């Protein structure tokens, strides 16, 4: 990464956006690694477990729209502080009052959705400091906060085994409070921010067919990443009989690869073009997910394929958001909220759908193959719009995006 990038924006804000996003994602994903222990104690079915881990994803998807509006109307920094406080209070309540039923777990999931909505804060906060030629790198670094899922997958099951899963919520409050302090001190809003949008601007954005394409593309890449991350602890436990802690280690390997590939995906998109990079990543993910759907006898083989798929999905996340500012520079706050919302909805449908299919068929095969099919459809959709985007985005945007 050359010196021109580091001198182009505001490094403390970029780091603060990453840190805020990272810890927010950690707690947003918290129910996933704890799912097996919680389901055992609360006597949940596979379908209920799937819906439990999917609830924060759906809540985060819907709240991203709200947080996008707050970031637009107030400022990204102010919206981030508000969201972080809400999440801290929810975790404290869950720790002190306890989670004693399926309904309680779902309610906590709704509040944890506010952590998932951090996406609509961190990305505009970082993006607004950087020029178009560095958007892929800036958005990739801020978006690498996906790596918070790694910490949750590694640490949460171990803490739950040692101290009980309800105490994990209390442990999570400590880094969140420290992050809130650091974010408040380091983050700065960009001096030149887009004019605040009205509700009509959001509906107007939905009238642009490119908005729907971006929403679909991200629902596959990010939806696949977070949906699989939430479902994999249960998958490895159900499919191969792994303990919650071991399943957490397997899942951590998968989400680590996907998280680390997001900034690289943005950099690759800056270098080779967003569409070229994204199309390649769809192909990788679809092939690997389809292969693991054959119910491989070895957990190690399944792990290798899931890691490869998550690498593709993670890089795809970075590639999508390298393209977004090229097409929607003035509407970045609006589109970040809408596209992020679509990504969360995709993750909810995948996590909940895998649980429902497993409950009703006794197998994950159909669910995995359906998701692989979505990757194929996204690839063909990208090829379909490529020609039109080349001729309608304008020569400057085309050059920057290398489409």
Q: pLDDT tens digits, residue range 333-369? A: 677 778 888 888 999 999 999 999 999 999 999 999 9
4 inside domain: no
pLDDT at 403 over 60: no
Whole-angstrom Cα distance, residue 56 to residue 348?
8
> Is the residue at 322 inside a domain?
yes
- 1, pLDDT greater than 60: no
Angle between helices 299-327 and 274-292 (to 10 degrees): 160
Find out whether 231 and 355 touch, Cβ atoms under 8 Å. yes
Give me 254's structure tokens: 């998968």
Q: What is the CATH number of the domain that holds 43?
A: 1.20.1250.20
Integer Cα distance of 136 and 134 in angstroms: 6
Q: 72-95 burial, b for 16+ CB within 10 Å, e for fewer?
A: beebbbebbbebbebbbebbeebb
In 10 A of CB 332, how many CB atoms?
23
Comparing 9 with 360, the larger pLDDT belongs to: 360
Task: Name 188's Cβ contacts closer than 8 Å, sequence gap at least 6.
Answer: 10, 12, 13, 77
- Rounded average pLDDT over 308-322: 90
Q: How many domains are there within the chain?
A: 1
Predicted confidence at residue 2, as pLDDT, reads: 54
Residue 143 resides in a domain: yes
Two tokens, residue 75: 């400022």
Q: For residue 3, what pLDDT is reported?
A: 59
Locate 306 and state its tokens.
């899931």
Token pair listed for 65: 């729209």
Query: Considering the domain boundaries, does residue 262 fall inside one?
Result: yes
**Residue 208: predicted pLDDT:** 80
> Rounded to two decimals, what is the model's pTM?
0.84
For the ranges 87-96, 271-280, 338-347, the one whose mean pLDDT is highest: 87-96
Q: Is residue 100 part of a domain?
A: yes
pLDDT 10s digits, 105-139: 999 999 999 998 887 788 778 777 676 666 666 76
Q: Is residue 244 part of a domain?
A: yes
Q: Is residue 70 part of a domain?
A: yes
Q: What is the pLDDT of residue 21?
A: 86
Is the confidence at residue 327, as pLDDT, over 90? no
* Of the candidate ranges 41-55, 109-123, 207-221, 378-392, the one whose mean pLDDT is the lowest: 378-392
Supply the range of the domain harboring residue 66: 9-184+198-401
Q: Return the higher-pLDDT residue of 317 and 371.
A: 371
SS (H, E, C) 67-121: HHHHHHHCCHHHHHHHHHHHHHHHHHHHHHHCCCCHHHHHHHHHHHHHHHCCHHH
What confidence category does residue 322 fall into, taking pLDDT thresholds of 50, 70 and 90? Answer: confident
The whole-number average pLDDT for the span 48-70 is 89
| CA–CA distance, 347 with 219 (Å, rounded to integer) | 7
Of the candidates 318, 222, 302, the residue with the CA atom closest to the CA atom of residue 254 = 302
What SS3 state is found at 402? coil
| Averaged pLDDT score across all residues of the chain | 86
- Report the C-alpha gap between 213 and 376 in whole angstroms: 14
| Structure confidence at residue 128 (pLDDT) | 75
Is residue 189 one of the residues assigned to a domain? no
DSSP 30: T
């Amino acid at each position: 990464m050359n010196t021109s990038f580091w001198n182009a924006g505001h490094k403390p804000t970029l780091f603060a956006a990453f840190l805020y996003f990272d810890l927010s994602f950690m707690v947003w994903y918290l129910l996933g690694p704890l799912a097996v222990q919680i389901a055992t104690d609360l006597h949940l079915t596979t379908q209920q477990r799937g819906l439990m881990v999917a609830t924060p994803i759906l809540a985060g998807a819907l709240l991203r729209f709200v947080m996008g509006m707050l970031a637009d109307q107030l400022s990204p920094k102010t919206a981030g502080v508000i969201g972080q406080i809400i999440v801290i209070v929810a975790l404290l309540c869950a720790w002190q009052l306890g989670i004693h039923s399926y309904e309680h777990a779902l309610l906590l999931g709704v509040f944890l959705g506010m952590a998932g909505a951090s996406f609509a804060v961190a990305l505009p906060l970082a993006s607004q400091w950087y020029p178009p030629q560095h958007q892929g790198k800036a958005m990739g670094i801020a978006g690498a906060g996906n790596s918070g899922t790694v910490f949750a997958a590694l640490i949460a099951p171990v803490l739950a085994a040692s101290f009980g899963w309800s105490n994990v919520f209390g442990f999570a409050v400590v880094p969140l409070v420290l992050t809130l302090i650091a974010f408040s001190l380091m983050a700065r809003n960009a001096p030149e921010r887009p004019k605040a949008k009205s509700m009509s601007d959001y509906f107007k954005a939905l009238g642009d067919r490119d908005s729907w394409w971006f929403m679909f593309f991200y629902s596959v890449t990010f939806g696949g990443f977070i949906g699989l991350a939430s479902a994999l602890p249960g998958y490895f436990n159900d499919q191969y009989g792994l303990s919650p802690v071991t399943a957490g280690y397997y899942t951590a390997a998968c989400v680590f690869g996907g998280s680390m590939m997001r900034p690289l995906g943005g950099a690759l998109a800056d270098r080779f073009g967003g569409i070229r990079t994204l199309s390649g990543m769809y192909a990788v993910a679809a092939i690997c997910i389809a292969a693991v759907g054959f119910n491989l006898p070895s957990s190690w083989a399944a792990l290798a394929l899931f890691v490869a798929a998550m690498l593709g999905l993670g890089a795809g996340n970075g590639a999508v958001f390298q393209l977004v500012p090229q097409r929607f520079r003035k509407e970045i706050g609006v589109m970040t909220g809408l596209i992020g919302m679509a990504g969360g909805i995709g993750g909810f449908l995948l996590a909940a759908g895998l649980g429902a299919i497993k409950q009703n068929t006794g197998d994950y095969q159909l669910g995995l193959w359906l998701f692989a099919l979505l990757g194929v459809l996204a690839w063909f959709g990208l090829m379909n719009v490529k020609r039109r985007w080349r001729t309608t985005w304008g020569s400057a945007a085309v050059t920057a995006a290398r489409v």
